[in-house]
Structure 1
Amino acid sequence: MLRSPQLSPPTAVHGAPAVMGDQELFSEVLKVQNKIFYLDLKQNGRGKYIKIAEKGKYRPKSSVVVPLSGLHSFIQLFDFYLNSDGAGPQPRDVVVESKVFNFSCGENDRGRYLRIFESGGGYPAGGSSLMVPAGWANANIRAFRDSFEKIANWLNQSGMPSTEMSAGLALSSQPDCVTLDVSKEGGPVLSVGSKHYFFDTRLNDRGRYLKIKEVSGNMKTLLVVPAHAVGKFQEAIQLAMMAQPRPDHPAEVGGQQQA
Structure 2
Amino acid sequence: MLRAPLPAPTVLHGQPALMGDQELFSEVLKVQNKIFYLDLKQNGRGKYVKIAEKGKYRPKSSVVVPLSGLHSFIQLFDLYMRTDGPDPQSRDVVVESKVFNFSCGENDRGRYLRIFESGGGYPAGGSSLMVPAGWGNANIRAFRESFEKIANWLNQTGLPSIEMSSGLALTSKPDSVTLDVSKEGGPVLSVGSKHFFFDARMNDRGRYLKIKEVSGNMKTLLVVPAHAVAKFQEAISLAMLVQPRPDQELMGNGVQGGPPGGQV
TM-score normalised by length of structure 1: 0.90
Give the Cα separation in 2 of the matches to 1:97 and 1:151: 20
Match of 1:178 in 2: 177
Could you say what the CA RMSD is over the residues aligned between the two structures, in angstroms?
1.9
Deviation at 1:50, TM superposition (A): 0.3
Q: How does 1:29-108 map to 2 (within 5 A)?
A: 29-86=28-85, 88-108=87-107
Deviation at 1:85, TM superposition (A): 3.2
Match of 2:247 in 1: 248
Deviations 1:225-259 (A, max 9, x none): 111111111001111112222232203777xx842
Q: Which amino acid aligns with 2:7?
A: S
SS at structure 1 position matched to 2:114? strand
8 Å CA contact 2:96–2:167 kept in 1: the answer is: no
SS at structure 1 position matched to 2:252? coil
8 Å CA contact 1:95–1:166 kept in 2: the answer is: no
Structure 1 outlier segments of 4+, above 6 Å: none
Give the Cα separation in 1 of the matches to 2:6 and 2:241: 62
Deviations 1:160-188 (A, max 9, x none): 2221134423243x212112222232211
Q: Which amino acid aligns with 2:99?
A: V
Deviations 1:14-54 (A, max 9, x none): 1451578x611111110000000000111112111100000
The size of the alignment, in residue pairs, is 250
8 Å CA contact 1:152–1:162 kept in 2: the answer is: yes
Give the Cα separation in 1 of the matches to 2:171 and 2:147: 19
Q: How does 1:218-257 map to 2 (within 5 A)?
A: 218-249=217-248, 250-251=251-252
Q: How does 1:154-173 map to 2 (within 5 A)?
A: 154-160=153-159, 161-172=161-172
Match of 1:3 in 2: none
Q: Which amino acid aligns with 1:76?
A: Q
Q: Where do 5+ consecutive residues of structure 1 fail to align?
A: 1-5
8 Å CA contact 1:103–1:114 kept in 2: the answer is: yes
Q: Which amino acid aligns with 1:89?
A: P
Give the Cα separation in 2 of the matches to 1:103 and 1:253: 30
Distance 1:101 1:25, change over 3 A: same
Q: Which amino acid aligns with 2:117?
A: E
Deviation at 1:57, TM superposition (A): 0.2
Give the Cα separation in 1 of the matches to 2:56 and 2:41: 26
Tell whether 2:20 aligns with 1:17.
no
Deviation at 1:141, TM superposition (A): 0.5
Which sits farther off after the overlay, 159-168 or 187-196? Answer: 159-168
**Percent sequence identity over matched residues?**
79
8 Å CA contact 2:40–2:49 kept in 1: the answer is: yes
